A and B are shown apart, each in its own frame.
Chain A
Amino acid sequence: MSATAHIRLDLPVMLQTLAKFHGELVFELPAPASMAAVLDALELRYPSLRGTVRDLNTRQRRAYLRFFACMEDISHRALEEPLPPAVQQGREPVLVIGAVAGG
Chain B
Amino acid sequence: MSGVRVLVGTRKGAFILSSDGKRKDWDVSGPFFAGWEIYHLKGSPVDPNRIYCSQSNSWFGQTMQRSDDGGKTWEAVGNHFAYDGVPGTHQWYDGTPHPWEFKRVWHIEPSLTNPDVAYAGIEDAALFRTDDGGHTWAELSGLRKHGSGPHWQPGAGGMCLHTIVLDPSDPQRMYIAISAAGAFRTDDGGATWKPINKGLVSEFMPNPEGEVGHCVHHIAMHPSRPGVLFMQKHWDIMRSDNAGDQWHEVSGNLPTDFGFVIDVHAHEPETLYVVPIKSDREHFVPDGKLRVYRSRSGGNEWEPLTRGLPQENCYVNVLRDAMAVDRLDDCGIYFGTSGGQVYCSPDGGDTWQAIVRDLPAVLSVEVQTLA
Chain A interface residues toward B at CB < 8 A: 12, 14-15, 17-19, 47-48, 50-53, 55-57, 62, 64-65, 98-99, 101
**Number of contacting residues on B, CB 8 A?**
16
B137 CB to closest chain A CB (Å) equals 11
In the complex the two chains form, is B76's CB within 8 Å of A47's CB? yes
Check A51–B61 contact: CB distance below 8 A: yes
CB pairs A–B below 8 angstroms (19 shown)? A12-B59, A12-B60, A14-B35, A14-B59, A18-B76, A19-B76, A47-B76, A50-B79, A51-B61, A51-B79, A51-B80, A53-B60, A55-B61, A56-B79, A56-B81, A62-B60, A62-B61, A64-B58, A98-B59
B28 in the interface, Cβ–Cβ < 8 Å? no
A99-B63 Cα distance, complex, nearest whole Å: 19
Taking a contact as CB atoms under 8 Å apart, the answer to whether A56 and B76 are in contact is: no
Decide if A48 touches B76 in the complex (CB within 8 Å). yes
Cα–Cα, bound, A77→B256 (Å): 54
Q: Does B59 contact A57, Cβ atoms closer than 8 Å?
A: no
Note all chain B residues with C-beta closer than 8 A to A98: 59-60
A99 to B79, CA, bound (A): 22
B59: A residues at CB distance < 8 A: 12, 14, 62, 64-65, 98-99
Residues of B within 8 A of A57 (CB): 82, 102
Chain B residues lying within 8 Å of A47, measured Cβ to Cβ, are: 76
Known contacts A18-B76, A56-B79, A57-B82, A51 near B35 by CB under 8 Å? no
The B15-53 residues at the A interface (CB cut-off 8 A) are 34-36
Inter-chain CA distance A90–B143, complex, in Å, is 50
